[in-house]
Amino acid sequence: MKAGNAGKDVLERLVHVISEDGFTLTGCLFDSTVKPTTGLVIWVHGVSLGFAEPEYVAIGRAVAAAGVRFLSVETRGHNFGAWLRGPGGSRLAGSAWEYLAEAPMDLAPWRAFAHGLGEQRIIMAGHGWGAAKIVFDLAERGTDGIAGVAFASSGSLVRDQLDPSKDAEAAELVAAGKGWQLLPWGTRPGMAPNTVSAQSYARRTAIRSYLYGGLGIPPALSKVDVPILAWFGDAEGREQNDIADFFDRIRRDAVSAPKMHTKILHGGSFLYTGIEDQVARHLVAWSRTVTSPRPRARSGEASR
């Protein structure tokens, strides 16, 4: 069917994939019906959000209308709480009950789906915490087949936004077999809703050094060896110096990236309400500066 976006010819199709551990995930593919496509963007949602947020849909329609496919996907961390359906029954998930270490099991089938569409230039774009999921995935699984990454308003990519004083409380609940219980409101400052389960908190603490670096461990971002686009909106409630610090930190950590481009979106809140066309325009323009990735040798081939 054609999307009702000011008469632009865009096809919208609901799609489903199965995570590597057997759970159903949903997404939406936005595709132009009148222009030849030149690439594809995989868009990963932020904390407590889903694949079909109104702003995501508007961005997807604008990107597709410009001739670039747009695949908005959900991970097991969609919305605040969610039930995953799998062969062994249901599982409690959502942003309050997700574990970052499981993100690659969700993103792998979306990457495979995108490659199956035949596009040669695939960009992975993460909104907020979605960017951290992408970085963790690429650090774990590699960037093979990915042409570039875009980090949309992701302060959590470079600093942990969990209250560090809850370690003991989370450990106590987990030890008592109550890891599913939520920690006090305010555990996740700046987020809405602003708490997580004790188990999620405990597991996040365990991989903090892997994501952000420390104690001789390089940050996960150092393994991302494709071009990077990073942006923030100027109406997100952040100070200009804070945004500049985020950009500087990403530059310092992304030692393997061949190039990085940064952008400030004018009038942009965290959700980009009202500036979706601006987001789409910058994303499409940058994606067309990125070349298709070359096939990489499989493990062991280079030494033969």
Q: Which two tokens stand for residue 186?
A: 């305010």
Within a domain: residue 129?
Answer: yes
12: amino acid identity, one letter? E
CATH code for the domain of 156 = 3.40.50.1820
Per-residue pLDDT, 188: 85
Within a domain: residue 186?
Answer: no
Per-residue pLDDT, 296: 53
Within a domain: residue 244?
Answer: yes
Per-residue pLDDT, 207: 84
> How does strand 89-93 pair with strand 82-86?
antiparallel
CA distance 87 to 76: 15
Per-residue pLDDT, 299: 40
Within a domain: residue 245?
Answer: yes
* Domain residue limits at 72: 10-160+216-291
Q: Which two tokens stand for residue 5?
A: 């976006």
Within a domain: residue 197?
Answer: no
Within a domain: residue 266?
Answer: yes
For the chain, residues with pLDDT lower than 70 are 1-8, 294-304
Per-residue pLDDT, 6: 43
Within a domain: residue 176?
Answer: no
Q: Is 53 helix (H, G, I), strand (E, B) or coil?
A: coil
276-287 helix and 54-65 helix, angle to the nearest 10 degrees? 50
Contact 29, 70 (CB under 8 A): yes
Per-residue pLDDT, 172: 95
**Nearest 10 degrees: Cα torsion 292, 19, 210, 178:** 160
CA 245-246-252 angle, to 5 degrees, is 85
Count of structural domains within the chain = 1
Within a domain: residue 183?
Answer: no
The gap from C-alpha 111 to its chain's centroid, in whole angstroms, comes to: 12
- pLDDT, tens only, 9-68: 899 999 999 999 999 999 999 999 998 888 999 999 999 999 999 999 999 999 999 999
